[in-house]
Amino acid sequence: MRILKNSQTFKLQRSSNIMIVNEITMKIIINAKDGESIHSLANRIGFAYSAVYNWVLILEKYDVIRIIKKGNKNIIKINKNTIYKKFIELESAVSVIEKDDEFWKLIKNIKLKIRFVRGTAITIWTKGGFVTGDFYDKIYFLEVSEKEVNPLKEILKEKNIDYTEDKLINKRPLVYIISKNNFKIEKINDLPIMPLNELISYCKNLYLDNVLEQLNLLYNLNLNERYSEIYTNIKK
């Protein structure tokens, strides 16, 4: 693969059997420190020195890294050019996807008393028919029994999943923890969630007519006609 230096975007052109984007180059770029020796970097990222050295030489051709000789050491100098920045963006995007997958697996197997509420519950109960903005943005609202808030935080920290109890932060996925006692839980596809009747009340209080309409269509709830186009159309 050959990277076109004169492009403002990260364009790859097939010109050889070398693929510059791979596990080793990602590890090198994400973990390398200015002034660090290649030997030190290889030890930290867990790859053989020869493999790291060879890929550093390739990255040097693309001006991502410079190698400076200091005695018998090969010292790394990082050049944060367009290619470097695109590597960082790619790593960030992949990390979000991996953490998101890890979060949903965790929720299905966790033994704590928790349940999804608010926009997360809306998206799950409507089977994706109504995806809220926060869900799309990978912000998940989770009610947790008061005595199990700290255990949940420890589990999320262990999995490197970010959370908040107050202000939203620019980390994704983000679990919004709401401490509460004495709540009921239903399960949909092994996901703990607030009961449908509670969600309906929540939506009515916020005048979320579009959501109520979708729920009415899915579950034949016989809600008031203002929440359903079906009833409106029948009366016309």
DSSP of 151-172: HHHHHHHHTT-EEESSS--S-S
Domain ranges of the chain: 2-83, 110-235
Q: Kindly report the average pLDDT of the chain as a whole number.
A: 88
Q: What is the mean pLDDT of residues 152-161?
A: 97
Give the tens place of pLDDT for each residue, 194-224.
999 999 999 999 999 999 999 999 999 988 6
Q: Give strand pairing partners of 156.
A: none
Q: Which residue has the higher pLDDT, 233 or 120?
A: 120
Q: What is the pLDDT of residue 19?
A: 80
Phi-psi region of 35 (alpha: psi -120 to 50; beta: other; left: phi over 0): left
In this predicted structure, what is the pLDDT of residue 175? 98
Between residues 173 and 14, the one the model is more confident about: 173
Using alpha carbons, select from 2, 30, 35, 31 the residue that is nearest to residue 18.
Answer: 2
Q: Which CATH architecture has domain 2-83?
A: Orthogonal Bundle (1.10)
- For residue 126, the model assigns a pLDDT of 96
Percent of the chain past pLDDT 90, that is, above it, reads: 83
User: Residue 18: what pLDDT?
Assistant: 60
- In the structure, what pLDDT confidence band is assigned to residue 226 with cuts at 50, 70 and 90? low
| 11-15, 75-79, 102-106, 144-148: least confident range | 11-15
d(CA 96, CA 3): 25
The pLDDT value recorded for residue 15 is 37
pLDDT confidence of residue 223: 81
Mean local confidence (pLDDT), 29-45:
95
